[in-house]
Structure 1
Amino acid sequence: MAGVSNGQETEKFYLQKEQLTVDSDDEYEYEEVPVDEDFITADLDEDLDLAVRTIREAEEEKDATVKKGELPKPSVTRRAEVVDDYVRNFLVRMGMNRTLDTFQTEWYELQQRGSLHAEDIGVVPDMYGRNQELDNEVKFLKREVEKYRDAAMNAKETYVKIRKERDYHRMHHKRVVQEKNKLINDIKRLKRHYQQYEPTLQQLKKKYEVAMKEKMLSKLEKDRAVGQVSGLQNTLKSMESFKGGSAKLSQGPTTSTRRGVYQTDSEGRGPTQRTLAMEREMCDVGNEPGDFKRYPNDTEFPVDTGINPQLANVKRTSSHLSRTGGFRLSNTFQAHSHPVSCVKLHPRKPILATTSDDHHWKMWSVPSGEIIMTGEGHTDWVSGCDFHPSGSKLATSSGDTTVKVWDFSKAECVHTFTDHTHAVWGSTWHTCGDFLASCSMDMTAKVWDLNSLRCRYTLRGHTDSVNSIEFLPYSNTLLTCSADKTISLWDARTGLCAQTFYGHMHSVNFSTFNLRGDTVGSCDSYGVVKLWDVRANAPMISLDVGPHPSNRLAFDPTGTVVAVASNDSTVKMYEVASGKVSSLVGHEDAVQCLAFDQNGEYLISGGSDCTVRIWS
């Protein structure tokens, strides 16, 4: 083709026809695929919205199935097995290896010769495959039947065994029920039998108590008669030693009196009263101030000598007393029906007095634990008791605000002091036996005169309940402790506070002297125990055995061991010299009270478990 000329030389182009050849190894002729007109028509007629909706529904169903945990099951197309493969598998399964070799040889020879037609080498008919499947299922079911048969036989054997055991236990149960019914009938019969003897037992018990009381009274009467004889003999000797008008004077108390044996003369006066009367006649000077208003029958306080005759006996027996771990439980007896609040030992005889919240006090023989006497009269719990120095009387204090004095010779209460306005916690006798002191929840302590039967002094000074009170032996000094956390020493002759100990941080439950009177022991509601030097007015030792409250403490006769009654059901034994602490375990509830005997050979404790225990 030639371009247009514009006065310049133009370029020329030529067209040439060329034929392209396709390089191919094999001259393959592509076959044209015919188009399905029906499909095209259906596809053209299909609504697009319907297709989209169908796809969305299918996706939603798939998502719902996945959420439910059910995955769609894949579709599996099962191909029919070829005839020769079927035969081979059959021969292999049956273990016919030689037949399999022969079959394969002949099969391939016929196939090479072309003797096998298309219908001969087709697939196995479905009937054969189905028969094989059924055969396999039948075999599987037979195995299952055998397994279940074995399980059923085992279950049958177990059932038979359990039924035999059931029959055995049923028979045993019937036998036990029969024995139980028989025992119940026997118990009922024995109860009826016992009820017939109950009145007799009660009568015998009362007779026994009466006999023991009479025996005790006889002993007391005998001791009193012996004392009167001794007193008359001493009086006769004294009268013979004087001349004329000096027959009324006396040279002082006898040795037996200084040792604690109390005799009364024909006028009923004790040795202390006789001594004081003779001193007044000799000196015409009394112990009371000159302007003191006297009441009829008032008793004069004895002079403090500072001599305790019991110390001589302690020195002789001190070698075996300084021990804390040597005490062992030797006897236990049920003393009351309610907690035991106090235990006191008779000054001369192996007799124990106990008080309790059951409104009673009792006397026991120790260490056997045989009951001697029972006292009834208080209308509320009995908090404490104390023997008269002569052993013929007993003072008891109670929550009914009274203090009662019991005379064993008369077997009755001879007097009741009622001046306290609240519960009385304890009482203590003066060594002369003519004065009794008591402490109360009304924040006071009182000194009573047994001859004039009146309150001589009311000790005021504590600001809370006075929890314990004690006379120093052979002295006019009183020791009190209070819930106001203090301990005080009082002069009973004047009713004035002489000394106060400060140091406890909690309510002081109890305080007591050692036998020498130079040390005071106290314990409080948090388990703190303190030992105080009376002369220095200062604490010597502070011991914490808490956190349980300490209810009471007691010195042994040597003063080297302190026993503490604790609320944790134990008795703490503290050795002063070494500081060693041990525990006596035996009570089942709080230990409320304790006491050493005069020789320190055994310790007696009483507790909230209603028992009294003797440790020796």
Structure 2
Amino acid sequence: MTTSKQQDSITGSFNLGFTSIPAENDESFQYEDVIEEDNSLTEEEEDLEATLLAIKQRSDGIQPAASKTRNTITRPGVCPPPESVEDYLRNFLLKMGMTKTLDCFQTEWNEMLQKGLLNTELVGAVADVYTQNHRLDSELANVHRERDEYMSIASSTAETLTSLQKARDFHRTQHKRVLQEKNRLIEDMRKLKIQCGRYEPAVRQITERYQSIFRQKMLVSLERDKALAQVHRLQATLHNMDLSERRQSLNQDTREARCKTKTPSKKTAEFSGSVKHVARDSKFPVGRRGNNLPPSMKERPMDSHVPNKAKADGFQLRSTIKAHSQPISCLARHPSKCVVASSSDDRLWKLWGLPRGDLVASGEGHTEWLSGVSFHPDETKLGTTGGDASVRIWDLSKGQLVLSLQGHSGVTWCCSFHSCGDFVASCSIDCTIKVWDLQSERCRSTLRDHRGSVNSVEFLGSGSNTLLSSSADKTLRLWDARTSLCSQTIRGHSSPLNAATVSSSSSTSYSTIASCDSSGIVMLWDTRNLAAPSVVVETGPRPSNQVAFDPWGKMLAVAGEDGSARVIDLSTNQVAAVLRHDDAVQSVTFDHTGAYLLSGALDGQIYVWS
């Protein structure tokens, strides 16, 4: 009797077929006592083939080779041996799950073998056609299974192929578009190269012409300076000779007068007339300390106009003036009217009425961009500086050029008028400051101690002959305009200075200097002690371009490169307001009453804050 494990092994080892077994009556069978034998199998006999071999050896002594031959798995292309009928029946019963019938068959078969009633030679074998059919059925099932697997693989492969074709078409389209853009760019580059090739001779010619003109200009400027120096020396020599002749003539006339009557002679009268002759050069006024306010503001009560902290905090944009088509370089307030002057890179200066922004006057004459603008103390003239290295004086009533002062060898940045109106000081990128006499229309002195571009210059108050200058050499300097000597050098900034100004308020007995540099540092200096700054305010890291006091010295406005104008409350020395712009702020100023703050930006607009 086989176990379930042996049955499974038999199912996989034998070919099964269908047959009919006639029913027998168990009552007519004569049972005999069966001697119990030790039929236990060892572990080696657990295998199906070993089990069958042991059964055959015990029953009829069949050789193990024959059992192995019957149970050998057939290979394709090899004719299998014929299968015995008993094996066929066992396989059939196992295949149909008829285990009870199989047990009865095994029992009866073994009894007949034990009694010797069974002749194995008469049993025979199953025809080969059944074995072939079974083998063909197995092969057909394998073929169907493989076909299904191949169809599944083919389906997934077809989907992958479709997606790859779509990706290929997409990338092919993108590749064609990129090729078209590449060809278009190549064509544009070819056209640009052709155009550049056409422009290169003209650019080369213009460059050579510019260099030659610049060299000629420098040579002419050097020769002019030499000639002017010679003229000045000759004039000084003639003046000294004239003085000596006059002294000799005076001594001679005095001696003759002593000898003669008291009636003056004709020669004496002529000499007296020559002594009274007024020289063409202007004279500097005697320096004095006192009220620094403009004359139009001295009688105005100050308390009603002084802005308080709340007003410093509350600046709001009132209006904007589209003043120029190019960036604004400088703003200057009118001494006594609600008018502001502006200069720009478009080579124009303009006057605007506040607060509506009405155009009052304009002028054009500079050959390069304008860098600075300043009002004359008599309020009828205007001074401008620019990239053409000149200082020009304009008549505001007519909008015409009155005087052009040439002498700097580089760009002039700004100018400042003396309170007497006879002198104007200008600073330049050539590291010099020149003081011009408007009566004699010549340069009276040149101040040369700075080691970098002089970016601002300003006279200190009404009646003062002292000049304040700031330079890219990181220093401030105070100059005596009469002697052309530097009276004091102020150090404290660690970056190049962009601008400096002095307060015009008379509320205190001393003045305050404000300076700003390219690192955004603003410093306030007490003129009584210039060894160190009294206040340091950081507005950086972007540069601060300009500083301006309000008329009463209570607030300080700072123009920033970061697109903002800051208002510093000088009572607390803190930034009270930050006024945002769309672009960098180049210049700031208050109107003459302090009611409006004006800022000029790179976008060509004047912002009016109140």
Q: TM-score range, shorter-chain basis?
A: 0.5 to 0.7
Question: Does the alignment pair 1:344 with 2:332?
Answer: yes
What do residues 42-95 of structure 1 show as CA deviations (whole Å, max 9, x unaligned)? Answer: xxxxxxxxxxxxxxxxxxxxxxxxxxxxxxxxxxx98359898998888888xx
Question: Does the alignment pair 1:320 with 2:308?
Answer: yes
Distance, in Å, in 2 between the alignment partners of 1:390 and 1:420 is 26
C-alpha spacing 1:568/1:319, structure 2 compared with 1 (3 Å)? closer
Distance, in Å, in 1 between the alignment partners of 2:400 and 2:94 is 120
1:298 aligns with: 282
Maintained 8 Å contact 2:478/2:487 = yes
Does the residue aligned with 2:545 lie in a helix, a strand or coil? strand
Distance, in Å, in 1 between the alignment partners of 2:587 and 2:301 is 25
1:551 to 512, 525, 545: 545
Maintained 8 Å contact 1:333/1:369 = yes
**More deviation, 342-351/381-390:** 342-351
C-alpha spacing 1:138/1:319, structure 2 compared with 1 (3 Å)? same
Does the residue aligned with 2:303 lie in a helix, a strand or coil? helix
1:594 to 564, 588, 599: 588
Distance, in Å, in 2 between the alignment partners of 1:331 and 1:87 is 114
Counterpart of 1:479, as a letter, is: L
What do residues 566-607 of structure 1 show as CA deviations (whole Å, max 9, x unaligned)? Answer: 333333443344343367363444332211223333322223
C-alpha spacing 1:134/1:327, structure 2 compared with 1 (3 Å)? farther
C-alpha spacing 1:112/1:343, structure 2 compared with 1 (3 Å)? farther
**More deviation, 84-93/579-588:** 84-93
Distance, in Å, in 1 between the alignment partners of 2:146 and 2:327 is 82
Distance, in Å, in 2 between the alignment partners of 1:493 and 1:447 is 9
Distance, in Å, in 1 between the alignment partners of 2:570 and 2:442 is 41
Deviation at 1:148, TM superposition (A): 7.2
C-alpha spacing 1:86/1:336, structure 2 compared with 1 (3 Å)? farther
Maintained 8 Å contact 2:338/2:592 = no
C-alpha spacing 1:494/1:86, structure 2 compared with 1 (3 Å)? farther
2:479 aligns with: 490
1:612 to 591, 603, 606: 606
Does the residue aligned with 1:614 lie in a helix, a strand or coil? strand
Deviation at 1:111, TM superposition (A): 5.4
Question: Does the alignment pair 1:529 with 2:514?
Answer: no
2:379 to 376, 391, 416: 391
Deviation at 1:339, TM superposition (A): 3.0
2:569 aligns with: 575
Deviation at 1:521, TM superposition (A): 0.8
Maintained 8 Å contact 2:361/2:396 = no
Deviation at 1:471, TM superposition (A): 2.2
Distance, in Å, in 1 between the alignment partners of 2:584 and 2:276 is 48
Question: Does the alignment pair 1:501 with 2:490?
Answer: yes
Distance, in Å, in 2 between the alignment partners of 1:591 and 1:88 is 108
Counterpart of 1:528, as a letter, is: I
Q: How does 1:134-149 map to 2 (within 5 A)?
A: 134-139=140-145, 141-142=147-148, 145=151
What do residues 179-209 of structure 1 show as CA deviations (whole Å, max 9, x unaligned)? Answer: xxxxxxxxxxxxxxxxxxxxxxxxxxxxxxx
Counterpart of 2:112, as a letter, is: R
Maintained 8 Å contact 1:110/1:116 = no
Deviation at 1:130, TM superposition (A): 3.9
Does the residue aligned with 2:565 lie in a helix, a strand or coil? strand
1:515 aligns with: 504
Q: How does 1:119-268 map to 2 (within 5 A)?
A: 120=125, 125=131, 127-139=133-145, 141-142=147-148, 145=151
Scaled by the length of structure 1, what TM-score is found?
0.56
What do residues 116-135 of structure 1 show as CA deviations (whole Å, max 9, x unaligned)? Answer: 95755999836523422322
1:53 aligns with: none
C-alpha spacing 1:507/1:139, structure 2 compared with 1 (3 Å)? closer
2:396 aligns with: 408
Deviation at 1:474, TM superposition (A): 1.9
Q: Which runs of 5+ in 1 are unaligned?
A: 1-76, 167-290
1:603 aligns with: 597
Maintained 8 Å contact 1:80/1:126 = no
Does the residue aligned with 1:113 lie in a helix, a strand or coil? helix
Does the residue aligned with 2:147 lie in a helix, a strand or coil? helix
Deviation at 1:416, TM superposition (A): 0.6
Question: Does the alignment pair 1:466 with 2:454?
Answer: yes
Deviation at 1:321, TM superposition (A): 5.0
Distance, in Å, in 1 between the alignment partners of 2:107 and 2:551 is 126
Counterpart of 1:446, as a letter, is: K
C-alpha spacing 1:131/1:314, structure 2 compared with 1 (3 Å)? farther
Maintained 8 Å contact 1:299/1:452 = no
Maintained 8 Å contact 1:322/1:561 = no
Q: How does 1:352-363 map to 2 (within 5 A)?
A: 352-363=340-351
Does the residue aligned with 2:467 lie in a helix, a strand or coil? strand
Maintained 8 Å contact 2:315/2:577 = no
Distance, in Å, in 2 between the alignment partners of 1:564 and 1:383 is 18
Question: Does the alignment pair 1:564 with 2:550?
Answer: no
2:229 aligns with: none
Distance, in Å, in 1 between the alignment partners of 2:420 and 2:571 is 33
Distance, in Å, in 1 between the alignment partners of 2:409 and 2:331 is 25
Does the residue aligned with 1:134 lie in a helix, a strand or coil? helix
Distance, in Å, in 2 between the alignment partners of 1:366 and 1:485 is 36
Deviation at 1:388, TM superposition (A): 2.5
Distance, in Å, in 2 between the alignment partners of 1:608 and 1:465 is 22
2:261 aligns with: none
Distance, in Å, in 2 between the alignment partners of 1:413 and 1:598 is 25
Counterpart of 2:280, as a letter, is: P
C-alpha spacing 1:495/1:142, structure 2 compared with 1 (3 Å)? closer
CA RMSD of aligned residues (A): 4.3
C-alpha spacing 1:518/1:292, structure 2 compared with 1 (3 Å)? farther
Deviation at 1:438, TM superposition (A): 1.3
1:237 aligns with: none
C-alpha spacing 1:463/1:329, structure 2 compared with 1 (3 Å)? same
Maintained 8 Å contact 1:396/1:426 = yes
Deviation at 1:398, TM superposition (A): 1.1
Question: Does the alignment pair 1:425 with 2:431?
Answer: no
Does the residue aligned with 1:316 lie in a helix, a strand or coil? coil
Does the residue aligned with 2:139 lie in a helix, a strand or coil? helix
Maintained 8 Å contact 1:465/1:483 = yes
What do residues 113-161 of structure 1 show as CA deviations (whole Å, max 9, x unaligned)? Answer: 35695755999836523422322432563587589779989999x9xxx
C-alpha spacing 1:455/1:149, structure 2 compared with 1 (3 Å)? closer
Distance, in Å, in 2 between the alignment partners of 1:511 and 1:292 is 42
